Amino acid sequence: MPIPLRLSQARRALAEMFIDLCLAFHATTVPLDQEPGETDANRALVAVAAMLGHAEGRPMNASEIAVRLRMPRTSVMRRLKVLREQGLLQRIKGRYYLEPHRAAQVPHRDIFTLILARGFKEIAPILSEMDS
Asked whether residue 1 is domain-assigned, the answer is no
Determine contact, residues 13/123, Cβ cutoff 8 Å: yes
Domain that holds residue 90: 8-31+38-131
Asked whether residue 3 is domain-assigned, the answer is no
Asked whether residue 78 is domain-assigned, the answer is yes
Determine contact, residues 39/29, Cβ cutoff 8 Å: no
Domain count, the chain: 1
Alpha carbon separation from 43 to 1, 6, 69 (Å, rounded): 38, 32, 11
- Run of H or E residues at 12: helix 8-28
Amino acid of residue 63: S
pLDDT digits (tens, 9 = 90+) for 113-126: 999 999 888 888 87
Query: How much is the mean pLDDT over the chain?
Result: 89
What's 51's domain CATH number? 1.10.10.10
Lowest mean pLDDT, pick from 18-22, 25-29, 44-48, 56-60: 25-29
Asked whether residue 83 is domain-assigned, the answer is yes
